[in-house]
Structure 1
Amino acid sequence: MILGLNHITIAVSDLERSLKFYRETLGFTAHVKWDNGAYLSVGELWFCLSHDDPCPKNDYTHVAFDIEPKEFEAFAKRVVSSGVEVWKQNKSEGQSLYILDPDGHKLEIHSGSLKSRLESLRTKPYSGLVWL
């Protein structure tokens, strides 16, 4: 049986640039790097950068990272002021900042939980919503 998320690996075109972004801009902890990759962590999540040719994506696929609500505003201001590109404006429950990493990977910084999202759907359901 699946227990949960083990790790996330993303392809990056410039390992040093991406390592700097995830460490300095987003505050991840770096553990090791090698010629073609690096291992970082954020909270309990293992995050891997792998030197490769990232392929462009035009869909809604993204990775969302959790942040304490009290830290969201200052963090978002700092990240946006560093010149990071915002790819979407938040329209859903909770605070979210939707940004692109140096290779265009879609990221979200979100304060909220599945529980808070489901509660919001009781009063503002999505079109065609069915409770399972």
Structure 2
Amino acid sequence: MNKKVSISHLTFIVKDIEKSATLFKVLFDAKEVYDSIDKNFSHSREKFLLIDDLWIALMEGEELPSQTYNHIAFKIEKDEMANYLRQIESLGLSLLSDRSRIAEEAQSIYFYDYDNHLFELHTGTLEERLKGYLK
């Protein structure tokens, strides 16, 4: 049997749904397509956003109790890094120091959102990384 699997959506539990929606709109040009403020079908209020075809679901709840290295990485272009850094700083997000890496790993920006979710903005590809790791 040949199974085709892909990501349906990513859900993040957030304390302030408006503030978190703004983060995705500013950083990723996400489009808000749904807000359950008038009619709730799930555990709590939720908003749906689209980053191109990627469905992001935000649900109101308690923030994560602590920061971990579990993260979601978004692909960005290298020449956009400075622009993303400015936007992250303007949103008052916590930046992490980059770790040492080999050239084939490309570059990354790591930051925590308002609810301790870790995000990475990454300029490389899996193929580039494997080329460096397997040489």
TM-score, length of structure 1 as denominator length: 0.81
Match of residue 96 from structure 1 = 108
C-alpha contact (below 8 Å) 2:111/2:120 kept by paired residues: yes
1:51 pairs with 2:60 = yes
Question: Equivalences for 1:70-81 in 2 at 5 Å?
Answer: 70-81=79-90
> Considering only aligned residues, what root-mean-square deviation do their CA atoms show, in Å?
1.9
Match of residue 77 from structure 2 = 68
CA gap of 1:78–1:44, structure 2 versus 1, over 3 A, is same
**1:111 aligned to which of 93, 112, 123:** 123
Match of residue 32 from structure 1 = 34
Residue 60 of structure 2 aligns with an amino acid whose one-letter code is H
Question: Could you say which structure has the greater relative contact order, defined with CA pairs below 8 angstroms and 6 or more residues apart?
Answer: 2
> Which is further off, 91-100 or 5-14?
91-100
TM-score, length of structure 2 as denominator length: 0.79
Note the residue ranges of structure 2 that are not aligned, 5 or more in a row.
38-44
Deviation, 1:113, is 1.1
Residue 34 of structure 1 aligns with an amino acid whose one-letter code is S
CA gap of 1:51–1:88, structure 2 versus 1, over 3 A, is same
Deviation, 1:81, is 4.5
| Number of equivalent positions | 123
> What is the percent sequence identity of the aligned residues?
27
